[in-house]
Amino acid sequence: MRTAYTSDQIRTAERALMALLPDGTLMRRAATGLSVVCAGLLPGVYGSRVALLVGSGDNGGDALYAGALLARRGARVEAVLAGSRTHQAGLEALREAGGRTVEAPWPDVVRRADLVVDGLVGIGGAGELREPYRRLAVAASEASGLVVAVDVPSGVDASTGRVEGPAVRAQVTVTFGACKNGLLVDPGRSYCGRVELVDIGLGPYLPDPDVVSLTDEDVADLLPRPGAESDKYRRGVIGIIAGSERFTGAAVLSVGGAVRAGAGLVRFAGAKAAVGQVRAHWPEAITTVLDGPSVADVGRVQAWVIGPGLGTGEEARELVRAVLATDVPVLVDADGLTVLAGDRSMLRRSAPTVLTPHAGELSRLLDVPRDRIEAARIAHVRRAVTELGAIVLLKGSTTVVAQEDRPVRVNATGTSWLATGGTGDVLSGIGGTLLSAGLSGYDAASCAAHLHGLAARLASTGNSGGQGPIAAMDVARALPQVIQSL
């Protein structure tokens, strides 16, 4: 499991460790690790041009010390001092090693560098970058040389991943002690490139993480697998209520996600047209044409999925109400969420409820503008959990899953080719299947996001190594191969 922390958590741990060590030890450890990564990225250190962007804090200090180490190995190191102050000991170390500082016109320095080291701000950064950092961040992002961010790309909020205004786009981010939330969560994540963690001995002083990201091994351990004694009922019966006379595809895709994720049995109920399509595509499913909002005729299930393509009229409302009135876990998606936004009282129940909104749907549920949710996913998914009393999976470029009193789980397996109609419907079927197999809502949602992302990647990659367009059904089709491989 990968773990990540807020800036405050990192600072507290650093203080505890620093109290036991001679002054400057941590910074030297950080700078040494940084210089090793930088040296590894250059075809040769000797003679290469390195530009250091140096802010006024310790982030600038790290860059200066690392620059000094590179200068000692023969690199031509030039430091742009951007802050009102500069880390003096770091600056002396650089000068002693033969590095130099440059005044305007610094754009040339950035332009001609083989490697740009972004030491403008780290975990001390707050809000939009001010000048001249802002211009330097833009110049670094446009540089032809490699860009390495020190601890966190300047302009990215380390605790939240929020990016206001320009920020440095790095090919590699060298982070110290522990990963910060903002390196795992978009939009920040997309500025980091590859993240390299340098151990500075912080481990024993770190608290429980704020954010985690599951690995393939974690998911493999959580996934239910049939044993010798399994039968279809014990493996898990999932009930899906989706689709309508008008929207039949969502039903087909949600059932597809469930069948291909390994449901013991899928019971599908919906409008006549949706049932017709589900039967045509998935003869494995047992179907019921719903005549009114009674779900009792559908048969016994261990978990429900409701919402994709359902519509938002009176009948849909009554169906959502009826399903939430049962005592089994329920996953609500798509139109089901829109219905809930109009009457949150339906969420008062004792069995687990998993909500799987995208930012637009969460915007309706929380009455918060969509762009604010996308800029601060962790904060909003947590708020949703508290306000709605459910487990919440927020979809999008980074999918995040939250439950009260647990770290937010961030999913990093997806691909932006997933941004296509119907892939969310497939996700609902996967999540429901895992719920019906007995996983907790938190585990079911996070494993579903993980498998969904891997399946999309597999479908998108094929044999070529590159990535290309996928259809939602391709994601469902790729699921068995993904589960085999875990």
Ligand X SMILES: NC(=O)C1=CN([C@@H]2O[C@H](COP(=O)(O)OP(=O)(O)OC[C@H]3O[C@@H](n4cnc5c(N)ncnc54)[C@H](O)[C@@H]3O)[C@@H](O)[C@H]2O)[C@@H](O)CC1
Ligand Y SMILES: Nc1ncnc2c1ncn2[C@@H]1O[C@H](COP(=O)(O)OP(=O)(O)O)[C@@H](O)[C@H]1O
| Residue ranges of the binding site for (6S)-NADPHX | 58-62, 122-128, 133, 151, 250, 309, 358, 425
**140 near ligand X, rule: CB under 6 A:** no
User: Which residues in the 58-87 window bind ligand X by CB under 6 A?
Assistant: 58-60, 62, 83
Contact 253, 429 (CB under 8 A): yes
**130 near ligand X, rule: CB under 6 A:** yes
Least Å distance between CB 68 and ligand X?
14
**421 near ligand Y, rule: CB under 6 A:** yes
**DSSP-derived pairing of the beta strands 391-394 and 399-402:** antiparallel
Among the listed residues 109, 121, 346, 454, the single contact to ligand X using CB under 6 A: 121
In this structure, which long-range contacts are made by residues 315-322, counting pairs with CB atoms below 8 Å and at least 24 apart in sequence?
316/244, 317/342, 317/343, 318/292, 318/293, 319/241, 319/290, 319/293, 319/295, 320/346, 321/293, 321/346, 322/293, 322/294, 322/295
Q: How many CB atoms lie within 10 A of CB 225?
A: 11
**431 near ligand Y, rule: CB under 6 A:** no
**129 near ligand X, rule: CB under 6 A:** yes
Q: Which residues are annotated as a binding site for AMP?
A: 395-399, 424
Among the listed residues 140, 427, 435, 483, the single contact to ligand Y using CB under 6 A: 427
> Which of 60, 199, 32, 45 shows the shortest CA–CA distance to 117?
60
Contact 223, 236 (CB under 8 A): no
Q: Which stretch binds ligand Y (CB under 6 A): 10-18, 72-80, 204-212, 411-419?
A: 411-419
**55 near ligand X, rule: CB under 6 A:** yes
Q: How far apart are CA 39 and CA 196, in angstroms?
A: 13
375: β partners: none
Q: How far apart are CA 281 and CA 250, in angstroms?
A: 12
The burial class, CB within 10 Å (0-12 / 13-18 / 19+), for 452 is buried
Q: How far apart are CA 199 and CA 456, in angstroms?
A: 33
Among the listed residues 414, 429, 432, 441, the single contact to ligand Y using CB under 6 A: 414
**118 near K ion, rule: CB under 5 A:** yes
**424 near ligand Y, rule: CB under 6 A:** yes
Among the listed residues 62, 335, 425, 443, the single contact to ligand Y using CB under 6 A: 425
Among the listed residues 396, 407, 429, 432, the single contact to ligand Y using CB under 6 A: 396
The burial class, CB within 10 Å (0-12 / 13-18 / 19+), for 101 is middle
Least Å distance between CB 40 and ligand X?
19
Least Å distance between CB 70 and ligand Y?
36
Question: Which residues, including other chains, have CB under 8 Å from residue 477's CB and lie 6 or more apart?
Answer: 256, 260, 459
Choose the one of ligand Y, ligand X, K ion, none that binds residue 118, judging by a C-beta under 5 to 8 angstroms depending on kind.
Answer: K ion
Among the listed residues 90, 122, 188, 264, the single contact to ligand X using CB under 6 A: 122
Query: How many residues touch ligand X (CB under 6 A)?
Result: 28
Q: Which stretch binds ligand X (CB under 6 A): 22-30, 71-79, 373-381, 410-418?
A: 22-30
Q: Which residues are annotated as a binding site?
A: 58-62, 118, 122-128, 133, 151, 154, 250, 309, 358, 395-399, 424-425
- DSSP per-residue codes, 404-463: TTSPEEEE----GGG-STTHHHHHHHHHHHHHHTT--HHHHHHHHHHHHHHHHHHHHHTT
Q: How far apart are CA 59 and CA 90, in angstroms?
A: 11
Binding site for ligand Y (CB under 6 A): 334, 358, 395-397, 399, 414-416, 418-419, 421-425, 427, 452
Binding site for ligand X (CB under 6 A): 14, 18, 26-27, 30, 55-60, 62, 83, 121-130, 133, 150-151, 176, 200
